[in-house]
Structure 1
Amino acid sequence: MPVFSKCRHTIKVYFEQRQRTAAPKPEKTRLKSVTATFTAAILAAQTLIAPLASAQGKLPLVRDVETENLLRQYAKPIFRAAGLPAGQVEIILVNDKSFNAFVPDSRRMFINLGVILDAKTPGEVIGVLAHETGHIAGNHLVRMRQAAANAQIISVVGMILGAGAAAAGAAAGSGGTTQGGAAAAMSSSAIGQRSFLAYKRTEEASADQAALRYLERTKQSPKGMLKTFEEMADQALFSARYVDPYALSHPMPRERYNALKTKAQRSKYFNIPAPKALQFKHEMVRAKLYAFTNHPSTVLKAYPPKNKSLPAQYARAVASMQRDGVRKSVPKIDALIRKMPGNPYFYELKGQALLEGGKPKQAVAPFRKALQYLPGDPQLEVWLGYAMVASNDKSLLPQAKSVLQKALRKDPNSATGYAQLAIAAGRMGDTATADLATARSLLNRGDIRGAQRYAKRAKKKLKTGTPAWQMADDILTIRAN
């Protein structure tokens, strides 16, 4: 069940985890004002590397089993070709229709929904994944931060020298020396900035070449990647206000594109399209995302009734669910199931329609069916537990609690899963588990203070030293902003 439902959440991605070893004491310095300036400058430079910072640590994230599984299918051979260990990189969906992707560290890759919505072929998405993988495998993020630090050191040294020259000039009564000091400071700052930006351009070109190698090793065409980057190069001719965010964060001068084009077109796989089965999956996911992120009338214009393809029927079923309600939408979803009875995502959609339509007990069966075709998926298990809890059937509570706990062990980032576990445990009289689950749910939503209130309550009821007690204790040590 996609979290494009009525329960949309903004999740705090970064929060400070407890450090069990004592932090080293910072070295004392008399240059406090310079140190503060240096630190602020470094943090500003790092926002180029981790755009998360521009949203005050928060991004509108979404979860969808079908989309995430498709992206993992795209990325798996690329990660293997790059020599990244299985499971190292988590792909995270951002609920934003602009075309953008970025990696803030070696473990997470953020992909806007707009990347998939804009891409007509799998290769266009795979090319973006390959490029971002190039940054991870090349250790560019760590090195880029060091480059930023080095660039700021140049600037700070210039400011110190400039300030010294200005002070000496003032003491000698020489206005010319003061102006010279200011000019020196400004010049060194510009040099530092140019140094960092040049390093960033080098890393972008390096990621391009790495992406081409990964595509060659996996016998995939670089045509989709080239198409995406050609658009970026064209956008560079226009004002920044019209440029796509991906082009801004991944600058693409025409000469860099031309170098990429020459090498890409030499690939023996250049004109080989994606397998038909993969293209079909791509079109299904695009149709689904389009339907969930646009008004039903807009969906029907893009996928009119005369379009009898399965992706079009999928989009119209989602639009009907959002516009018409359960009575009219479920027959449309059942028609999809009859055409493709082994598709777990159709049963998931039916379960969502029933759950949101006020029929949670009826939603249990389609969620079970979805798990029959996609066993062990934690998101589907969360929604099965959700339907069981919402059914208000006391006999289902023990199973709901068990299913939710099993799901959350595999996927601890589900705020909805912890919220439903809290309800199930509370109704069963297990208040300690209910309080801890509430704390975890609030924490995953970014409400640290609220999470700590419930963690404090849970800790008092839990046995000291147990994993649950330790979890509550860890939550209490997180520093709220």
Structure 2
Amino acid sequence: MKALYPIIFLLCSVPFALADGLPELGDYSATVMSPLDEQRIADEIMRDVYASNQVLEDPEINDYIDGLGHKLAENSSDKYQQFNFFVVKDNSINAFAMPGGVIGVHTGLLLAAKNESEVAGVLGHEIGHVVQRHLARMLAKQKNDSVISMATMALALLAARSNPQLTSGALVTSGASAIQKQIDYTREHEREADRVGLQIMADAGFDAHAMPAFFETLQKGTRFSEGSAPAFLRTHPLTVERIADVRNRVEQGSSFRMVQENPEFQFVKAKLLSNIGTADSAINLFRINLEENNRTNEAAQHYGIALAMLRKNDLPGAAEEVAWLRKNAVANAMIETLATRVAVTGKSPAVAEQQYLDALRHYPEYRALIYAYADHLLASRQGGKLLQLIADKQSRFPDDPYFYELKARLYSMQGNTLLMHQAQGEAYARRYNLRGAVEQMDLATKVKGGDFYERSIVEARLKQLRQQLDDKKRD
């Protein structure tokens, strides 16, 4: 998880007391569904999440959300709960939580939020649902002892919450609509999640006023028909009383606090906007923003223009924007990654490699840079350097499937079928696809060749994966 920009407080604040009156769950939540059951359901959900085309595959945006989510989660009451944060390619304004700490955020919500604290408020709310174990308790009320059946229900709910109007697709079942109605959040659960979320975001250093402000913005934009309401309102019903309760808790629990804006959030928004519509329309939008906003988020607008320039292969234009950023903006990893992309385009492999190495010296753990350099090494057939890079970075990111996918592609290029299947199997395992992992390891054992050490590792790993798959089937 990459480091976030520090949140600097210009004025001191008193501690929040926003979560008073929350129910003591005691042993009840553990009896309705064990943490192990929840984790198995989470694995099932994440397998389908990875297999779908709904997940945004962008290391910068995903790492940003993951970092923000875990910063909040570290301030929750449950220090042992694991979380998986990911971004869904969907323009609707929504976010959702599932058993096992699975939390998805729509790109539409990121674009609708004015600042990072508003996103933190929504994530804090979803984390509140998880640590209060709302979904686990509601799923258990279905009185179905099968964890697999619960996982199916959870996957259907994932589809319904992700896009309430979907009727078909990779994650949708015929019962999604009915399940949505059966186990929808109760009003009390929503109030609990609000209170917990406020406490979490305040403890993490964000402006708690942003939560009711964002809720009010959503409600003002939809006075109207149910069909026009943002998805977040349909899956997390807001009432005037609920918003008032949140605002009263904020006002009673805090003194005035000014939080410095995190520029990375605006860069994330600009990156999303740069890929909407044509490159020219995106450039025009950013230039209009520069004219109208009087230097508000100025650096992010130039960043977005540079990305859109790259889309249309205008390297001189992109380079000009990068030069402006390096002169006028505070240095950060997103700017350096963009600058490296512009610098290496069309250059010789040797020049490009030096650019990557220079950037990685400043940001050695920034995955977007690591991935880009790894892709360069693969394209230039520098297999030894690629394997060394992966070995160096896997100590920091041991469960990153992309590193194994890179190794599988390299071994395929080299004609090493055994190691190719082994690496692809490890990638599948880290994408929660145990069946695919077993198939790949089994294929690896059937390949002729390979030394005793390599074959022994593959056979031992195949046995381990088969055992995990059998355990899952028995559950």
TM-score normalised according to structure 1 size: 0.67
Write the distance in 1 (CA, Å) between the matches of 2:276 and 2:428.
25
* C-alpha displacement of 1:410: 4.5
1:275 equivalenced with 2:260 (yes/no): yes
Write the distance in 2 (CA, Å) between the matches of 1:351 and 1:375.
14
* C-alpha displacement of 1:325: 4.6
* C-alpha displacement of 1:438: 3.3
For the 8 Å contact 2:128–2:192, the answer to whether it is kept is yes
For the 8 Å contact 1:382–1:403, the answer to whether it is kept is no
- In structure 2, relative to structure 1, the CA distance for the partners of 1:56 and 1:147 (3 Å cut) is farther
Deviation digits for residues 52-102 of structure 1 (CA, Å, limit 9, x no counterpart): 899897352224444345435544553233134388323212222322111
Matched residue SS, 2:85? strand
For the 8 Å contact 1:221–1:272, the answer to whether it is kept is yes
> Partner amino acid for 2:119?
V
Work out which of the residue numbers 220, 228, 232 in structure 2 matches 1:246: 232
* C-alpha displacement of 1:260: 2.0
Taking the TM superposition and a 5 Å limit, the aligned residue runs for 1:79-228 are: 79-85=73-79, 88-149=82-143, 197=184, 200-218=186-204, 220-228=206-214
- In structure 2, relative to structure 1, the CA distance for the partners of 1:232 and 1:52 (3 Å cut) is farther
* C-alpha displacement of 1:408: 4.7
* C-alpha displacement of 1:283: 1.8
1:317 equivalenced with 2:306 (yes/no): yes
Deviation digits for residues 361-382 of structure 1 (CA, Å, limit 9, x no counterpart): 5443333233222223445323
| Alignment match, 1:387 | 376
For the 8 Å contact 1:401–1:425, the answer to whether it is kept is no
* C-alpha displacement of 1:447: 8.5
* Further displaced range: 337-346 or 53-62: 53-62
Write the distance in 1 (CA, Å) between the matches of 2:430 and 2:182.
39
- In structure 2, relative to structure 1, the CA distance for the partners of 1:378 and 1:300 (3 Å cut) is closer
1:438 equivalenced with 2:421 (yes/no): no
| Alignment match, 2:7 | none
Write the distance in 2 (CA, Å) between the matches of 1:286 and 1:201.
31
For the 8 Å contact 1:389–1:400, the answer to whether it is kept is yes
Work out which of the residue numbers 437, 441, 459 in structure 2 matches 1:455: 441
For the 8 Å contact 2:287–2:301, the answer to whether it is kept is yes
Write the distance in 2 (CA, Å) between the matches of 1:358 and 1:455.
39
* C-alpha displacement of 1:421: 1.4
For the 8 Å contact 2:139–2:183, the answer to whether it is kept is no
> Partner amino acid for 1:109?
I
Matched residue SS, 1:303? helix
For the 8 Å contact 2:435–2:469, the answer to whether it is kept is no
For the 8 Å contact 2:306–2:317, the answer to whether it is kept is no
Structure showing greater radius of gyration is: 1
Provide the aligned length of Structure 1 versus Structure 2: 385
Taking the TM superposition and a 5 Å limit, the aligned residue runs for 1:33-112 are: 58-72=52-66, 74-85=68-79, 88-112=82-106
For the 8 Å contact 1:347–1:369, the answer to whether it is kept is no
Write the distance in 1 (CA, Å) between the matches of 2:393 and 2:68.
24
* C-alpha displacement of 1:218: 4.2
| CA RMSD, Structure 1 to Structure 2 (Å) | 4.0
Write the distance in 2 (CA, Å) between the matches of 1:412 and 1:290.
32
Write the distance in 1 (CA, Å) between the matches of 2:53 and 2:116.
25
- In structure 2, relative to structure 1, the CA distance for the partners of 1:332 and 1:215 (3 Å cut) is closer
- In structure 2, relative to structure 1, the CA distance for the partners of 1:409 and 1:460 (3 Å cut) is farther
For the 8 Å contact 2:270–2:303, the answer to whether it is kept is yes
For the 8 Å contact 1:62–1:95, the answer to whether it is kept is yes
Deviation digits for residues 423-452 of structure 1 (CA, Å, limit 9, x no counterpart): 333455644222222344567789888766
Deviation digits for residues 81-135 of structure 1 (CA, Å, limit 9, x no counterpart): 3134388323212222322111212333211222221111121111011101111
Write the distance in 1 (CA, Å) between the matches of 2:103 and 2:370.
24
Matched residue SS, 2:378? helix
| Alignment match, 2:176 | none
Write the distance in 2 (CA, Å) between the matches of 1:372 and 1:142.
45
* Further displaced range: 84-93 or 243-252: 84-93
Write the distance in 1 (CA, Å) between the matches of 2:464 and 2:353.
35
- In structure 2, relative to structure 1, the CA distance for the partners of 1:299 and 1:89 (3 Å cut) is same
For the 8 Å contact 1:66–1:345, the answer to whether it is kept is yes
Work out which of the residue numbers 226, 239, 248 in structure 2 matches 1:262: 248
> Partner amino acid for 2:385?
Q
- Long gaps (5+) in structure 2: 1-40, 145-178
- In structure 2, relative to structure 1, the CA distance for the partners of 1:356 and 1:86 (3 Å cut) is farther
1:290 equivalenced with 2:273 (yes/no): yes
| Larger RCO: 1 or 2 (CA < 8 Å, sep 6+) | 2
| Alignment match, 1:343 | 332
- Long gaps (5+) in structure 1: 1-46, 151-191
For the 8 Å contact 2:222–2:228, the answer to whether it is kept is no
* Further displaced range: 55-64 or 225-234: 55-64
For the 8 Å contact 1:216–1:267, the answer to whether it is kept is no
Matched residue SS, 2:72? helix
TM-score normalised according to structure 2 size: 0.68
Matched residue SS, 1:264? helix
